[in-house]
Amino acid sequence: MNGDLFSQESTPTDQEMAAGGNASSGYSYQPLAARMRPRNLEEYHGQSHILAPGKLLRRAIEADRIQSLIFYGPPGTGKTSLAQIIANQTKSRFERLSGVESNVADMRRVLASAANRLANSGATTLLFIDEIHRFNKAQQDVLLPDVENGTVRLIGATTHNPFFFVNSPLVSRSQIFELQPLNEPEIRELLGQALKDEERGLGHLKCQADEDALGHLATVADGDARKALNSLEIAALTTQPGKDGVIHITMEVAEECIQKKAVVYDGDEDAHYDTISAFIKSMRGSDPDATLYWLAKMIHAGEDPRFIARRIIIHAAEDVGLADPMALVLANAAFHAAEFIGWPEARIPIAEAAIYIACANKSNSVVKAIDSALGDVRSGKTLPVPDHLKDSHYSGAKQLGHGEGYKYSHDFPGHFVPQDYLGADKRFYEPTEQGVEKKIKARVDYWREHFLQPPSLARLNRQKRQQNLPEP
């Protein structure tokens, strides 16, 4: 290969020409990710939750009923590509501004051109603003009149939640769509197409990639199609052909180009489930060190942070429960933090929650209680609501005896009064004496003693127990 990927030579190498096309192709020297941008909805990968046939956004595009939109999601999810497709589909002039580079003068120039275009030819303008959250309030306010009167169709793109980072007036005039990271099969398909495409991709090169290498690129890209394509291009352009003239992309090459080692971890098979199982069981077993190791393995392998956080939430409720109610609060906070900030910073709140839960007192009384109650209901032992507990707020309820005899707890000492709340003698919740639940157990035991016995007999039994005498 003549020169390298970063050389400033005016004459491109054969590999570069093959990868980038020629001057007439319109793709010269563009990165692979730019060349492989989808040209229509059929070529677009991912986002089936909003673009599958029959979904709202797809219907709006196909019917040319697009007004103002805001796309938000992580990098490489196709926000720019989707905006360009919408412009093509709706036959609109595509104008692009950057929230980082563009100023008010740039905005007024584009808006004035759009107004003239609409007045003179009736042609619409789609104004795409990348990183719209970086515009200050004054800049965003400049857009409002032209968005409101239909001079432009605005599509804003942001990696930040627009409800927090985009002005409310602009948000209220836009439909918000969240773009999700591409999954591994979607990225693998895109990589395969790039290897085969002779016009825009790497098809002119004699390039072969091992399946495990493509799988690694797809996994480690963490839903970012741009990152995966860029890594594939670097691999193709920096790997010397073999004696047969074929550029062979191995796992080693893939690891070098995406700068991340592979771990034995398959997002769809045994290693995935075994690792998450080990993680959960380590938390349940109160081993913070093992918990952190399995967590680190999942993070390194590119596991979705939301998946990990969801498992922590489940564990907090199922295995810690009322022994430490703060565990669920912290787990839920970690989930929202991870969703908000993403990798790599999400590792910190997730690890905080995992360590706390591993070290917390444990109780599975909650899951046992609800499963016991569900078992009763499913077995057909459905109980009628006692009359005194029935709704008494409507006219005619009194005639039916609904609510009659109900005792309002707050009218009694300790805000407690024994009365029948179930219509049967059943126990589903059996509190433990672990952590905070020990206090809960004392209160439950007190309540149950009074539920089942008249107050006088309850007092007598307490006295008997204190004197170690047999109860009647």
From 147, 178, 209, give the residue that closes a domain: 178
Of 229, 231, 219, 228, residue with least CA distance to 183? 219
For position 214, which CATH number holds?
A: 1.10.8.60
* Helices 225-238 and 211-220: angle between axes, nearest 10 degrees: 140
Within a domain: residue 280?
Answer: yes
Within a domain: residue 264?
Answer: no
Q: Are residues 68 and 86 in the same domain?
A: yes
pLDDT value of residue 292 = 87
Q: Are residues 460 and 394 in the same domain?
A: yes
Task: Check pLDDT > 70 for residue 468.
Answer: no
- Counting the structural domains of the chain, the total is 4
Within a domain: residue 12?
Answer: no
Q: Are residues 78 and 50 in the same domain?
A: yes
Lowest model confidence (mean pLDDT) among 77-91, 102-116, 257-271, 319-333: 257-271
Full residue range of the structural domain in which residue 221 is found: 183-258
Q: Are residues 450 and 347 in the same domain?
A: no
Task: Check pLDDT > 80 for residue 392.
Answer: no
Within a domain: residue 194?
Answer: yes
Q: Answer yes or no: are the C-beta atoms of 187 and 225 closer than 8 Å.
A: yes
Q: Are residues 245 and 296 in the same domain?
A: no
Q: Are residues 155 and 215 in the same domain?
A: no
Within a domain: residue 415?
Answer: yes
pLDDT value of residue 306 = 84
Q: Are residues 78 and 165 in the same domain?
A: yes
Q: Are residues 56 and 159 in the same domain?
A: yes
Task: Check pLDDT > 80 for residue 259.
Answer: no
pLDDT value of residue 16 = 41
* Helices 225-238 and 184-196: angle between axes, nearest 10 degrees: 40
Task: Count CB atoms within 10 A of the CB of residue 336.
Answer: 12
pTM of the prediction? 0.53
Task: Check pLDDT > 80 for residue 271.
Answer: no
Within a domain: residue 146?
Answer: yes
Q: Are residues 162 and 78 in the same domain?
A: yes
Q: Are residues 90 and 150 in the same domain?
A: yes
- Convert the pLDDT of each residue in 41-91 to its tens digit: 999 999 999 999 999 999 999 999 988 999 988 888 999 999 999 999 999
Q: Are residues 187 and 174 in the same domain?
A: no
Q: Are residues 166 and 192 in the same domain?
A: no
Lowest model confidence (mean pLDDT) among 297-311, 343-357, 373-387: 373-387
Task: Check pLDDT > 80 for residue 17.
Answer: no
Up-side HSE of residue 227: CA atoms within 13 Å toward CB?
A: 20
From 215, 235, 258, give the residue that closes a domain: 258
Lowest model confidence (mean pLDDT) among 289-303, 328-342, 380-394: 380-394
Within a domain: residue 433?
Answer: yes
- Convert the pLDDT of each residue in 444-454 to its tens digit: 787 777 765 54
- Convert the pLDDT of each residue in 227-250 to its tens digit: 899 999 999 999 999 888 899 999
Per-residue pLDDT band for 186 (boundaries 50, 70, 90) equals very high
Lowest model confidence (mean pLDDT) among 162-166, 370-374, 377-381: 377-381
pLDDT value of residue 289 = 86
Within a domain: residue 283?
Answer: yes
From 226, 258, 290, give the residue that closes a domain: 258
Mean pLDDT of 303-330: 88
pLDDT value of residue 84 = 94
Of 304, 310, 307, residue with least CA distance to 331? 310
- Convert the pLDDT of each residue in 105-153 to its tens digit: 999 999 999 999 999 999 999 999 999 988 988 888 899 999 999 999 9
For position 121, which CATH number holds?
A: 3.40.50.300
